[in-house]
Amino acid sequence: MGKTKILKGNICFSIDKDTIIAKEKAYLVWHNNTVDGVFEKLPRKYRKEKVTDYGDCMIIPGLTDLHMHAPQYTFRSLGMDMELLEWLNTNTFPEEARYDDLGYAKKAYAVFAHNMKRSATTRACIFATCHRKATEVLMDRMEDTGLQTMVGKVNMDRDAPFYLCEKSARDSLDATRKWLRRTEGRYRNVVPILTPRFTPSCTDELLKGLGDLRGSMDLPVQSHLSENPAEIELVRKLCPWSDFYGDTYDKSNLMGPKTIMAHCVYSGEAEQQLMKARGVYIAHCPESNANLASGIAPVRKYLNDGQKIGLGSDIAGGTTESIFRAMVLAIQLSKIRWRYVDSSLEPLSAAEAFYLATKGGGSFFGNVGSFEKGYEADVLVINDKRLLGPDRKTVRQRLERIFYLSDKCEIKAKYAAGRRIF
């Protein structure tokens, strides 16, 4: 027999990008890991079940981070005065080289996993490094958190420092196959995801080999796309055979409904049409795009056009693992883009930012990110009493204040796939 779980509190969740359901003193019910529904009055069939009453706390879906780099967590908030390619060569590559030392990897990933467990994130897609053994350490650490994550061993065989670059496409692919064999069936909470760093660091042979691997094993894929003008120009020089940046992935069989492309700040119409046709997910990383002077992605256009899109913290281009922070910055930067770049694209609303952080990004994992019937139970219970004042705010208003003032709130309980994290 399965187990029924019932929480009582002030419940908010998205059903689409424009609509938030908000219910005061309501009941969230799930069986095993699947939501049965949200009820203002508890149905008779559940009245013998135990109810965990969280009083005046807020109950919302867990947040999804579609793009982050675990090995970069150690130097977050450093080098924020650089642009992307300089930042990679100055900060990122030297730090990632340290993960060849398993002792260092264990210490660094323990800190990362601990902080992720305590965060508002319940689902995440995570880059490791090109080191197979260290990637397995990260997977072990994330398994222990109980969060539902996808973790990828990075592939890179060109345009990177000698001390980090893999010797050849063949060596990179062999290491990836070994990693997949060693981790097959090993985890309950962690799934492997193919991770070509980005086209500049992968030869044509390596991209094609990864595409073949994706096709034969039906694996998800994560990478970067059209983040920075200098990066795009580099792709033009390295891949003169391609029509545009995204075409390098598509001709290598790496684009599909299980693919995430981070950033897409400068994706042209042909690239956008390709992503929509293939069902690719866009990971919008507003803080990273600002910190590394990349630009502001046209998120309004992506939403209006029906692109699949969610949010990413992009540690350490972003400074924090907080997806609440990404929600706020997505709204703020969309206002700046509307004001100074393209007045035809209206700023994001609070409802849309909440959707991106929950149901929008969560859908990459399936029925995730909402409390609609049949969705997996990813749940945050948030105590926002420090934000309450003399006047009574609505549940919907309280939700919006949590976005902006999440550091003043306490996560009292957290569930991923129906199982309690803390």
- pLDDT tens digit sequence for 358-415: 999 999 999 999 999 999 999 999 999 999 889 989 999 999 999 999 999 999 999 9
CATH number of 63-365: 3.20.20.140
The fourth-level CATH superfamily of domain 4-62+370-420 is Urease, subunit C, domain 1 (2.30.40.10)
- N-terminal to C-terminal alpha carbon distance within the chain: 24
| Mean pLDDT of the region 287-292 | 97
If you write DSSP's letter for every residue of 129-145 in order, what string do you get? -S-HHHHHHHHHHHHHH
Whose tokens are 């069902």? That residue is 279
Q: Is the pLDDT of residue 228 over 60?
A: yes
- If 0-12 CB within 10 Å is exposed, 13-18 middle and 19+ buried, where does residue 321 land? buried
CB atoms within 10 A of CB 414: 23
The C-alpha angle 264, 265, 267, rounded to 5 degrees, equals 60
Q: Is the pLDDT of residue 2 over 80?
A: no
- pLDDT tens digit sequence for 160-173: 999 999 999 999 99
Q: Is the pLDDT of residue 1 over 90?
A: no
- pLDDT tens digit sequence for 25-69: 999 999 999 999 999 999 999 999 999 999 999 999 999 999 999
Residue 237: how many CA atoms within 13 Å on its side-chain side?
9
CB atoms within 10 A of CB 416: 24
Q: Where are the domains of the chain?
A: 4-62+370-420, 63-365
